[in-house]
Chains A and B, each alone.
Chain A
Amino acid sequence: MHSALETILPRHLVEPLTQDHELLQALPTAVYTTDAAGRITFYNDAAAHLWGHRPELGKSEWCGSWRLLWPDGTPLPHDQCPMATALKEQRAISGAQAVCERLDGTRISFLAFPRPLRDATGAVIGAINTLVDVTSLTIAEDAVRRRAHEQSALYQFTDSLYRAASLEDVYQAALDAILGTMDCRSASILRFDRDGVMRFVAWRGLSDAYRHAVDGHSPWKAGERNPEPIFIDNVDQSDMPDDLRASIRGEGIRSLAFIPITANGATVGKFMTYYDAPRVFDRDTIELAVTVARQLGFSLERAQAEASRRVAQEALRESEERLRAMFNSSAVGVAVLTPDARFIEANDAFTEITGYSGEELRALDSASLTHPDDCASMQSHIDSLVSGGASNFVIEKRYRRKDGSTIWVQNSVSLTHDDTGQPLHLVKLVQNITERKTAERRQRLLVDELNHRVKNTLATVQSFAVQTLRSAPTVAEGRKAFEARLIALSKTHDVLTRQHWEGADLCEVVEQAIAAYRAPGQTRFRISGSGLMLQPKAALALSLALHELATNAVKYGALSTQAGSIDIEWQVTRHPKRFHLRWSESGGPKVEPPERRGFGSRLVERGLSQDIAGDVRLDFTIDGVMCSVDAPLHEVASAA
């Protein structure tokens, strides 16, 4: 840069013209002159404007500035200013930079072009200085520098946010960025707590007392939309409650800014910048603040999303773990299948039920396990599930285990869907119900069998009644005979019940049949035969026949006198397998065959022979009644 004067006027013309103040006055550039001692002898209006005042001619020295500063802001004594240097060293200086501070505090950055003035002899008689206002240039340079600095700080901020592992990291990165770009002496970040109260979450350069005093203060409500930042240029002149102002001033804060932080459009907090001098918040500062706030908001959104994702993930993991544990340890078989019923996974209980390993199952489908007779029904249930007709079904069916055995299972099947509603998996719960099924069948058989026995017993009793009463000489005798037969039947039932109706010991059956006619100390019965387990039916028939024989013996035979006795003997032959039993009375009165065979003898001969598919002979010999029984062993003896 050249002196404006030099540009305008050739050098040889300058000296004569220095006195021509009018010309200099007219120049738009600040120009002033001094004498050899540095006292200001002239300045033009442009210089007065630059300085911001009109110094007294002949008194002010070196420079008309109120205060002078080096470009870096440190004080520059007037006698060291470029003009002073030019005079003292008698040389021209071109473009030395300095800053003029006006009375009102505003600063003008300028370049000085002082040049000594000499007389014809060459002696220095004074100097002329041209000041070029470069404030706008400086500002632009500053702005560029500042913008570069801001960009770097914002980049740093972004980078730190990217690496932030916690909310605290986010806050610290934000404070770094705020302090690095907002030119403030302290800063803080506040967030709404659960109750919607604004609380400090991070800060730098603030006293505890201050934080406590202003805690909870917020210009916006939690969740408020479109909050505007607030800039207070001068605390003393702002409109705020006195106690708040007192707290702020007490912290030495003269100006401050409230920058709202929003996440997903709603106010979640703010950051604050504090300054120890009043200041004007220019557009750049405001934009910067908003930029930082936006970045911070995004980070909080991300952090929130991340936190809830982590919570959800943790919950999912826990629930999966729980389900996995249930899946593995369940006593119920669980299998996961494709919608077309191919196995994907099965738990231990399932592999135990089917006998196939998980590996083997993966090569199978549901149908290959299912009993062929149950496949169609199973498939129609699955079809209905997949087509959306039902959400689950329960079916009892048969499985064919790996070892070829058939088991009954209860299958509870449900269908899961993916996000788009497409069938995803069949989930099958399987219980082995073979035992229950067997028990049910046994139960049904038992009930049937019981019914059959009861009905047959009733029919037998009916037969007793009809035939007893029909052949009885009197009603009273008939009733007595009927009761006796009923009791004999009942007692044989008792014997059978003791053996769960699986059979009865022949000895016991005989003992029971004659018990009523045995007196202590008497030996009227001689019994011989080895132990034999009788079929229930044979036991009943034999018991009833023995009862009839004993009754007859009491009335007419061996037991009707004191001397008579009865032999009961039986034996089993192996070749052929037959059963023999003989009842023979002796010592009784002389017996004569009855004229008419009554129900009693019919019961013995016909009844017993029919029931054991054998021969029964009843003989009325002179010695007494003789009854011989001969039957196939398998009709008499219990198989067990």
Chain B
Amino acid sequence: MEVYMKAVAGILIALILSFTLSGGGKHFALLLTVGVCACVGGIALSYMESSLTFIRQLQVSGNLNGDMLEILLKSVGIGLLSEITALICADGGNAALGKVLQILSSAVILWLCIPMFRKLLELVEGILGKI
């Protein structure tokens, strides 16, 4: 997950650097957008904290498998982060970076879901074996 975070940060820095190199006067506007998005995203996440705690309480009281919930939460986090970053990239006029990030996020989510697919396959094999 560290690599994914570094990739997102790298894309944001690349966007700002591309503006700097092009010599446009929009640097500060773009930096302001990124800063405000980070601040507001942080506030939104702090509000989501209680909901996520409640979901974890439900998982414990329902005696559900914690690994599946972790995958679900990670996917939500990756989706949110990639969507925000892709929109910032599109605002900065470099939609290609945003698209690449969305592709990367999809690949990471698929990679995260592999253990779940394996368990599903084992379950299906078990059911078919019993028949």
- A complexed with B: no
